[in-house]
Structure formats: structure tokens, C-alpha cells
Structure 1
Amino acid sequence: MSDITNSELDRRTLLRRAAAVGIAATPAVGMLSACVGGGEDDKTEQATGTKSAENPLGIDPKAPIEIVIFDGGLGTKYATDVDTPMYSKKWPESKVTYSATQQIATTIKPRLNSGDSPDMINNSGSDLMDFGAIVKAGQAADLTDLFAAPSFDIEGKTVAETLVPGAVEQGTYDTDSGRKPFAVNYSFTVFGLYYNKKLFDKNGWTAPTTWADFTALCDKIKAAGITPFGYAGANASYYMVRAILTSAGKIGTEQVLKDIDNLKPGAWQAPAIKQAAEAWGQIGAKYINKSFLGLKHTEVQLQQNQDKLAIYPCGSWLENEQAASITPNFEYAVMPYPSVTGSDQLPATAINAAAGEVYFASAKGKNPQGGKEYLRVMLSKAAALEFTKLTKSLTVVAGAADGLTISPGLTSANDMLSKAGKDVFMGYLFDTWYKKLDDASREAANTLMFNGGDAQKFCDAMEKASQEVAKDSSIAKFTRV
């Protein structure tokens, strides 16, 4: 991405916004089994070393580590060009084995169950693993010692003390042995409707704040021969789930989404959910390209870069993911989801933003302490700064990107975040807690948007799936407050 602005934004303001999200989730689960697969993994000899000021996690300096990174919107250069070299410089005798994949669950789950797991794993993408099940099975390492360890490069502070408020809490779970952190939610993402600012400026189109304005704009875009709205049904239907539920959260507040996370009976039948589904169902019926159902995310995103599609629901990783396809005539910008009704309880400026992109160390791997040490490197100020430069995404390391000149898309996201003020909400967690419910939501969203499904059918399908999960005693349950 070469089209970089010279604006210097208040990075502390942006990072403080992270404190408004990600702090309300308090999962509760018993550690019901040692490992989903059981067996030989319990016999794995794990590398350990002697703790010291230079080696606070007590790693074996000569032991190799293996990391696996999701190859998606954030790319992989931050791992190959920043984190791994930093780790190797600190521990030159420790060989780092690296791989990247878009099929995390397919690739990693069998290895977790067999006791041959990598030491640090980036669990993300459409094929992500059920992290609730991973915690339940004792396959994620307790990160208490990581967060209590000295920062890799910020003197006088622990790792936890260098992070935005809520960063540790979001990956913390209640277990039979107490509350413990198991995940690092590293990237801070701003969600909204992304568009080409230059195309909008050329046509005199402005970002809508009401649903009537939104449909009127879609009519103008359609008349110009451009598909007004779309997403990829093949592998990115969760983008649409977030759109529907963000609108529902603005209609009825985040409590509507908390009820969904808590598997509350009737949560998916709430008026706010149905109103949001009705509104978006109309967009699907009138303004979407039905061929998008069979396309992958990058294929639809390329159509937007070619001005064949105007408005795309996504997160702030989008600009980096499409960097190679951006032409001089394209400049990313983002707008909040418009108000659906005249009585939405949150204002039109309210947005969904949250810490995400889960990284964890494997409890059953050969070198879990090495996996944690790799995470300590990632949570350094230097690594976080380079991550933002490479990905055009923020991290949970407070102040790491202060003074950094950023790209048009992230500049727009920052402006939207600033205008949202206190009206920033995390959204929902069921997609990482309950894989079955996540899968059902993706299917229901596609049916609503592409196959003529109506709002009540959407609500009914999701209510049924939710209660099936609630009644399934084999699925660990989590509680959000």
C-alpha cells in the first residue's frame, strides 16, 4: 500500500478506545478433561530452563519452537520479518519452525489431539478452532506467568501493564482451579461499511446515517451500474452476521448480544434481532449480486477495488489484505452501520470495535514456555509498532503506534472511532465459544441475504441452533456479564 497520508493521529486516543471493548466477557468452564484426544500427549517431554532476569519464563534457550500463523487479512510478514527475527536475536540457539495456513482447524486440531501440537498458534479465519473446547480440554497454556513477566522492551513494567485495559480479561476464563488467562487477543479491529472515498466523492455520494438514507444511496449506486452492497457467501458470511448483529446492538444495546452469548431462551427472537434481520434482508433482496454467494472474500473485495461493488461490510484488516489490488483511483474509507429505526437506543455514530485475532501457547506441546516467550516478543512495543506498519491494524500494546503515519483506511477508522466516543461496543463472543452456533449463523445469514429468507426464518433458525447448544451437555458453557 503506497497511498499513505501524512496525518499524525492521536494514537493514545485511539488505543484508549480499546478500553471500551473486550472487558465484559467472563467465561466460566470446568476443566473437564486433560485432552480431547488423550493418550500419548500426556507423556510428551517438555522443554524447560532456569528462570532469571534475562529469562523470566524459564525457557530452555536451546530448545526449538514451532509457530503456526493464520494467512489472512493481516498477512504473515509480521511473523516472518519482525517477531521471529526478534525472538531469534534474543535466543540464537533456539530454532524457530514457522508455517502459515488458511485452514487452522483442519491443520492444527488433529495435532492438538495427538499431542504433536505447535508451541504457539494463531487461531483465526473461517476454519478457526473452537477455542472454548480447547480451554475445556486443557490444551491452551495458562498465560499467567507471561502477563506477570517483565515487558520485553519496556523497562519497569510487566507485560500486562503495557497493554490496554481489558486486553488480559478478554482471554481470561473461569476454571475449576480459578480464573486464568489462556489467550492473547492481539489485534484491535474497527468494523463498519467500507467504501472507495474517491468513487463517492466523484459521484457526490455521502455516508448515510438513517436506513432511508442508506436505501436511497443504494438506489443511486444501482442506477450508476454498480452493485450497491455485497459480501462473499462462500467463506465470509460471518462478515454479514456481524453486520446484522451490529445493527441489532444499535437498536437494542449490547445487552441483546450478551443474551445471545449467554444462550438465553428467546434471545434470537428479540425485537432488535428481527428488526435488524428485516432491514438487511431487504438489502439482500434488492441490492446484492446473487453470484457473490459462491465467491470467496478476496474475489468480492477485488470487485470493490474495481468499482464494481460499492459498499462492503468488514473489519480494519481489509485495506492491508487488498494492498496489492489498490489502484490510484481507490482510497479506502469506512462508515458506521446506519440507524435501522428512528428509535435505536444507540446513536448512528455508535460502532463495533474489539480486540481480536487469538494467539495461544499449547499446553501439550514440546515447548509451551517457548511459545509464551514468542508471545512476549509479540507484545513488545517494537514488535507491535512494526505490526501496525505492516498490517495497518492496531494492537493491544498501549501507545505502541504513537506518532505513526498511517493509511487512508485506518485514518478513516480512527475518525469514526473518535466520533463514536463512548458508544463503542465489543459485539458478541458466541462465534468463538460455540462453533456449532457460529456455523449456524453463517448459514442463516446467507439464506437471509441470498436465498430469499425472511427475518422470522432467520430468527427461528438461530433460536433453534442456540437452544440445541444450550441443551448439549457435552459443550462447555460460558457466561458473559
Structure 2
Amino acid sequence: MGSTSAHGHEGLGRRNLVKRSAALGLIAVPTMGFLSACATGGGGDENKTDKPKGEVTEKNPLGVKEGAPLEAFIFKGGLGDQYAKDAEADYKTTYKADVKHTGTQAVGPKLTPRFSGGNPPDVIDNSGADHLDMNRLSSQGQLQDLKELLDAPSMDDPAKKIRDVIHPSTLEKGKHGDKVDVLYYAFTVYGTWYSQKLLADKGWAYPKSFEEMIKLCGEIKKDGIAPWTYPGKYPYYVHFNLFAQIAKIGGLESWIAIDNLEPNAWTSNDAVKQTVEFYEELAAKKYFLAGTEGMTHIQSQTAWTKNNAVFIPNGSWLENEAAPTTPKDFGMAVGALFDGSSADKMPQGTLRGEPSEPYIVAAKGKNPRGGMELLRIMLSKKHAQNFATKVKSLTCVMDATEGMTLSPGLSSASNAFKAAGTNLINLQLQEWYPALTDQKIGGLTGQLLTGDLKAADWIKKTQAEADKVARDSSIAKFKRTS
């Protein structure tokens, strides 16, 4: 997912192990998840970081103990893990400490027994399909409150706290109740991706509305190319755009009702109807690449980079993940959300852009202060720029890429982000209830896109699935107001 994210489904073959782990209650079920699940306020002693502790100084504001070993567990998916190793190298030099690094695509299955046994690693990039259920961990007091980190001086300007140099939505998204205990390191731009070269060569313009898109798809199909592809094995990728379109057309308030699992939030919303009917029309007119319904994310991306399809829904990790098959002159670019009509609540250029790649520090790890300090190092401009260079993605550090020469996809994402201004959409449903969005609604979306389910039935069934979650007292709930 996400995320960061949704870009690491190689772990999906581990279903049986995941099911067993889910029984322990630490993994978000049933794993085709973008980032994470659901919680209540944490209790216990998770805020006490008294083991081990060094002297607090200007250069060591978190009081990291020199020589204390650090263990980092990093999701190794579409973004790789070299960027984390680079930050770990600086930590190792500064604190003369051993750093044990594990790169994996099965964070949940590997760490569930360790959290249960009371010996989790210190810092974890909890991303990919097999992620831990952070909401549950938070409610169990397993996640370190990151207040000390957020109040610590930034590496580049000690006059500024960490909380002042990162995008405000990072703080909002990382909250469980009143505390921030998740640090979303990346900033992902979602949208409809395309090749600038292909559009230019064919004389096509990126459509601004549903109507323009449907019209262009007809032209594209006549030209012998498929208009769209998507990962049919993981149809929730389409939600990256579909959900955001609902918010763009109906306004964020109408989406917040959906995030909050309010009754009739799907069925009484005209923006839902308009958006889902758009996807129904794409399916009815056979505007998806033949065979798409059986493709993984990598297969659909490869078909797209080979120009077998013009558009693909995805997040900005795409450029790095698809790099092996992307031609040099492809001109990867991302387009903003489409207009539904002149009555849309949010303007042309509105974008879904939000924090992703969730880092957590284990409150019951051996060195939580070291875990927070590694994050402080990663939040320096040096490492934010290293991340942009290595993985072609933005971080949550504001203005970190100013003056850099960016790759085509990242440059396009950065420009779209700037053009959107305050018209940014940030969604929580996929974070809070991934089993609902990725499995239940995802299954319905898969049927919608193959033409096996009508829009009206998708809406009715989606509402029923949301209502089931709302009624399930075993699932902790969250509310958002903005």
C-alpha cells in the first residue's frame, strides 16, 4: 500500500502461515492489505523509554546509549531497503553500535511470534501484503509513543522540531487516539499513470473528466491498444483511484462518513454512484487489457511499460518497481483525478497524496531510543534526498527535493502535488479496515471490472460489508473529523 505498501505482494504465497499468524491476532487479515487495521487507545508503560539510556546532549537529544545494539526490520518491496541501510550506516558510525538489519517481504509472519514473545526488533518498516496489524499492536501498548522524536530537534536545523519539518498529514495519519505512534516515512502520490511519449506520439491529451476519458478510450481501442490495465489478482489497487474519486466528486465530508462506517454512507452518496458507474462503463465497453483480471501488479505494470495499455492506477512507488522494464524515453507521468461534472465539490487538479510506508518503534524492544534516533536520521534532508534518488519517491520531509534533478515519474508526481495545493485527499478506510477494503470490497471490485457485477449491486454489497464491520464489536473503531 501502502502501500507501501501495496507494492509487495510477493508474500501472498504464504497464506497458511499468515492464517496461523492471524489467529494470534497480530496480522491484519487476510493479508492482501495495503497498510494496516484497527485499534483502541493504548495503555500500559509504552511511553517509558528507560532502557537503555545515554546522556542527553545537543547532538544526542533522545539520549541514545552509545554502543547499544539496534535491530531494524525493513520491508523490502517496491522501494527496496538500501535507503534504510544507508541511514543505519550513519547510526552505526555515530553511536559506535552494531546494527542488525533484516530486509523481508513477510514482516507480519516473521514478527508475530516475536511480539508475542516480548522480544520484537527496535524499529520496523511495517509495509507490504503481510504487515502487522498496527492498530491492534497500539491498543496492546506495543508501539512506542513517538512524542519525544517529534519534539526532538531536526538534524538540519536544531531550531526546528521534527514535527515542524514533516508534512502535517504525517502526524494525523500516524495517530491512534491522541498519540502518534506510527511514522509514515514516504509520501505517496496516487493517480492514473501514463507514458508522456505514447500520448504525444498518438496526439492524445490526458483526459480531465470521466466523459473525456470514456471518449478517449474509444479512440485508443480503435488504434489497437488497450486503454487500461490493473492488477486483477489484487483489484484493490483500483481503489487508490476509485475511493479518491468519490471524495473528489462528493467532497471530503462525504468520504469521512465512509471512513467512519456511518449507515448508508455508500448507498446515499451520489458521488459513489457516479464513480462506480464510470468503472462499470469501462468494463462494459471492454476497455481493459485482455487477461488483466489474472495479472499480478508486476505483470500489469510490465504490460503497461510495453505500451500494451495506456493507463494504470497506482502509487508513486511504481517508477522504482517498474524500472526494470521501463524504456528510457517512456516519460512516466501521473495524472490527477477526473472531474465527474461541474457540480464536483473539489476542483480540477485535486490529487490523492498521503503519507505511506509506516515505521513503528517497538515499545518493548531492547533499544526504543535507538529506534527513534534512526528515524530522526532518516528525516534529515540528506537521507530524504537519498530516498528520492534511490527509490524515485517523495518522503514526508517537506521541500527535501527542492533543487534536485528528479526522475520523470517523481518529477511528474512532485508537480502534481504542487499543483494540487491544498486540494489533497487523504483516506483512512484502507488503513483502518484493510480486510474490508482489500478482501471484501476488493472482491466486489474484481467482479465489477470483469463485468460480472453491476454498479448498483457493487454499492449495495459494499454497504452491507461496511455495516458488518460497524457491527463487529471485536474490531476496534476510529473516527475522523477532517
Counterpart for residue 208 of structure 2: 209
Counterpart for residue 442 of structure 1: 442
Q: Measured at CA, do residues 344 and 399 of structure 1 come closer, stay the same or move farther in structure 2, by a change above 3 Å?
A: closer
Counterpart for residue 29 of structure 1: 40
Q: How does 1:450-469 map to 2 (within 5 A)?
A: 450=450, 452-469=452-469
Q: State how far apart, in whole Å, the 1-side matches of 2:474 and 2:42 are.
A: 12
Q: State how far apart, in whole Å, the 2-side matches of 1:205 and 1:170 are.
A: 37
Higher deviation after alignment, 211-220 or 191-200: 211-220
Q: State how far apart, in whole Å, the 2-side matches of 1:457 and 1:316 are.
A: 31
Secondary structure class of the residue paired with 1:168: helix
Q: How does 1:189-338 map to 2 (within 5 A)?
A: 189-235=188-234, 237-269=235-267, 270-285=269-284, 286-338=286-338
Q: TM-score, normalised by structure 2?
A: 0.86
2:444 partner letter:
A
Equivalent in 66, 76, 98 of residue 95 of structure 1 = 98
Q: State how far apart, in whole Å, the 2-side matches of 1:144 and 1:105 are.
A: 25
Q: Is the 8 A contact 1:33 1:136 kept in 2?
A: no
Equivalent in 132, 138, 154 of residue 135 of structure 1 = 138
Counterpart for residue 149 of structure 1: 152
Q: Deviations over 1:211-259 (max 9, x none)?
A: 2210121112222222211110223x23211221121112101112211
Q: TM-score, normalised by structure 1?
A: 0.86
2:381 partner letter:
K
Q: Is the 8 A contact 1:389 1:406 kept in 2?
A: yes
1:291 partner letter:
G
Q: State how far apart, in whole Å, the 2-side matches of 1:228 and 1:86 are.
A: 46
Counterpart for residue 62 of structure 1: 67
Counterpart for residue 111 of structure 1: 114
Secondary structure class of the residue paired with 1:333: strand
2:69 partner letter:
P
Question: Per-residue deviation at 1:140?
Answer: 1.0
Q: Measured at CA, do residues 328 and 55 of structure 1 come closer, stay the same or move farther in structure 2, by a change above 3 Å?
A: closer
Task: Choose between structure 1 and 2 for higher RCO, CA contacts under 8 A separated by at least 6 residues.
Answer: 1
Q: Is the 8 A contact 1:279 1:340 kept in 2?
A: no
Higher deviation after alignment, 185-194 or 430-439: 430-439
Q: State how far apart, in whole Å, the 1-side matches of 2:417 and 2:159 are.
A: 31
Q: Deviations over 1:62-112 (max 9, x none)?
A: 2222112222222222112x21111112112x2111122223323323322
Q: Deviations over 1:138-160 (max 9, x none)?
A: 11111111111222342332222
2:480 partner letter:
R
Counterpart for residue 19 of structure 2: none
Higher deviation after alignment, 115-124 or 339-348: 339-348
Higher deviation after alignment, 276-285 or 337-346: 337-346
Q: State how far apart, in whole Å, the 2-side matches of 1:418 and 1:46 are.
A: 42
Q: Measured at CA, do residues 402 and 419 of structure 1 come closer, stay the same or move farther in structure 2, by a change above 3 Å?
A: closer
Q: Is the 8 A contact 2:209 2:339 kept in 1?
A: yes
Q: State how far apart, in whole Å, the 1-side matches of 2:157 and 2:193 are.
A: 35
Paired positions, count:
439
Question: Per-residue deviation at 1:342?
Answer: 4.4
2:261 partner letter:
L
Q: Measured at CA, do residues 119 and 451 of structure 1 come closer, stay the same or move farther in structure 2, by a change above 3 Å?
A: farther
Q: Is the 8 A contact 2:39 2:136 kept in 1?
A: no
Secondary structure class of the residue paired with 1:198: helix
Q: Identity, % of aligned pairs? A: 35
Counterpart for residue 412 of structure 1: 412
Q: Is the 8 A contact 2:185 2:396 kept in 1?
A: yes
What runs of 5+ residues in structure 2 fail to find an aligned partner? 1-37
Q: Deviations over 1:312-349 (max 9, x none)?
A: 01112211222222213411012123223343222332
Q: State how far apart, in whole Å, the 2-side matches of 1:265 and 1:33 are.
A: 34
Q: Measured at CA, do residues 422 and 56 of structure 1 come closer, stay the same or move farther in structure 2, by a change above 3 Å?
A: closer
Q: How does 1:300-379 map to 2 (within 5 A)?
A: 300-379=300-379
What runs of 5+ residues in structure 1 fail to find an aligned partner? 1-26, 36-43
